[in-house]
Amino acid sequence: MTVTETGAAELTKRRLTTLYETMCTAAALDTRLLNGIKRGEFATVIWPSRGQEAIPAALGLALRTDDRLITTYRGLHDHVAKGVPLTEIIGEVLGTSVGASKGKGGTMHISAPAHGVMMTTGIVGSGVPVAVGLALAAKKQGSDRVTVVTFGDGATNTGSFHEGVNLAATWQLPVVFLCQNNLYAEMTPVEETMAVPHVADRAKGVGMPGVTVDGNDPVATYRAIAEAVDRARAGGGPTLVEAVTFRFEGHYAGDASKYIPKEQMARMRAHDPMVTFPRTLLEHGFDQAELDEIKAAAERAVDEAVRTVVAAPPPDRDEIQLDVYADGLVVTHD
Ligand SMILES: Cc1ncc(C[n+]2csc(CCOP(=O)(O)OP(=O)(O)O)c2C)c(N)n1
Ligand SMILES: [Mg+2]
């Protein structure tokens, strides 16, 4: 099948399959790590993204490997989408030497420059100005690579966000600001911290296009992101894309989400992209057996990567000061 509502976003069966594969891998990764933490198998922490899978899947399809990405603590699904190998992601979460940062970064500090992932940050909003700097560098270097920074709804209340988007619009930089609006910042619902109805409305104030999209619909989200990426690559400047979604697990592994009203949780369950997207695919000629196999293959890949990571040694003691400062600079304490 082919979906051809916008020229930039033609979706063949192969591309729809890729979207679903990425979603299944992200969901399997989240579930495996969360279950492992809950039963005491893993001593680590994650900020679950179960429910938000459609957004990174769309993002991954819209980006080239050399495009830059900055994400957050809730970004394991973004790493999957950008092509970071599962062993490198899980290796970082579990702190073993096969991690992307040799197990020294942890969940909050995964970077994988070979795949364009330049930074993961736990400081809310702080990725925005860094992404603006990366986009400025690309422009000065005459490169057509695009930078995307993803963050939550809460991040759009920070000074860093407002300063960053203003500069990007003023300098017309090749950057896409992708808000994964899951309706909560920690335990605070979005309507308690924002007087405008949509995060995307904030784009108007700095003079850039802003668009709100159903972040549980990977095809619609892909179209919105692809259009923004195309505009940035063609020299048309930045865009704020707000993808509205929900997280079905706590803010962090262990948070029981008591602040989320039961009715809201039930209502949002009906929009879980891991339920609705397979239904859409079935309506468009996919069969149940092939969808089951995609899901099972993703779970197998995650399980295998966990086994590899668990069998790997922790970072060597001699590594402790390596990769901390500029190349070759090792501080001694004699
Ligand atoms: C500058 C800063 N302020 C506060 C915090 C504490 N904090 C961690 S996550 C979070 C909520 C962020 O919400 P949002 O941006 O919506 O992202 P989400 O966690 O929902 O993905 C807060 C306030 C922080 N890490 N950094
Ligand atoms: Mg949020």
Q: For each of the chain's 334 residues, which pLDDT tens digit applies?
A: 334 444 334 589 999 999 999 999 999 999 999 999 999 999 999 999 999 999 999 999 999 999 999 999 999 999 999 999 999 999 999 999 999 999 999 999 999 999 999 999 999 999 999 999 999 999 999 999 999 999 999 999 999 999 999 999 999 999 999 999 999 999 999 999 999 999 999 999 999 999 999 999 999 999 999 999 999 999 999 999 999 999 999 999 999 999 999 999 999 999 999 999 999 999 999 999 999 999 999 999 999 999 999 999 999 988 888 887 777 666 666 6
Distance, CA of 222 to CA of 60 (rounded, Å)? 9
- In the numeric block, which tokens belong to residue 47? 């900020």
- In the numeric block, which tokens belong to residue 58? 């769309």
49 CB less than 6 Å from ligand 1? Answer: no
Architecture of domain 7-319: 3-Layer(aba) Sandwich (3.40)
Rounded to the nearest angstrom, the gap between the alpha carbon of residue 112 and the centroid of all alpha carbons in its chain is: 14
Q: What residue type is assigned to position 247 of the chain?
A: R
DSSP strand E in 153-305: where? 175-181, 184-185, 188-189, 210-214, 239-244
pTM assigned to the model: 0.95
What's the gap in Å between 182 CA and the centre of ligand 2?
5
The atom of ligand 1 lying closest to the CA of 160 is 1
What is the residue with the minimal CA distance to atom 2 of ligand 1? 124
- In the numeric block, which tokens belong to residue 283? 């309506």
The atom of ligand 1 lying closest to the CA of 123 is 26
48 CB less than 6 Å from ligand 1? Answer: no
Per the CB < 8 A criterion, the answer to whether 50 and 249 are in contact is yes
What is the residue with the minimal CA distance to atom 21 of ligand 1? 152
What is the C-alpha R_g of the chain?
Answer: 20
The atom of ligand 1 lying closest to the CA of 182 is 20
Q: Which long-range contacts (CB under 8 A, 24 or more apart) does 266-269 make?
A: 268/51
Per the CB < 8 A criterion, the answer to whether 160 and 111 are in contact is no
62 CB less than 6 Å from ligand 1? Answer: no
What's the gap in Å between 89 CA and the centre of ligand 2?
22
Distance, CA of 25 to CA of 21 (rounded, Å)? 6
Strand order of the sheet with strand 239-244?
117-121, 68-72, 147-152, 175-181, 239-244, 210-214
| Rounded (5°) CA angle 72-115-222 | 70
What's the gap in Å between 46 CA and the centre of ligand 1?
14
Task: Give the phi and the psi of residue 195 in degrees, each rounded to 5.
Answer: -95, -10
55, 73, 186: residue to mutate for ligand 1 pocket, most atoms within 8 A of CB: 186
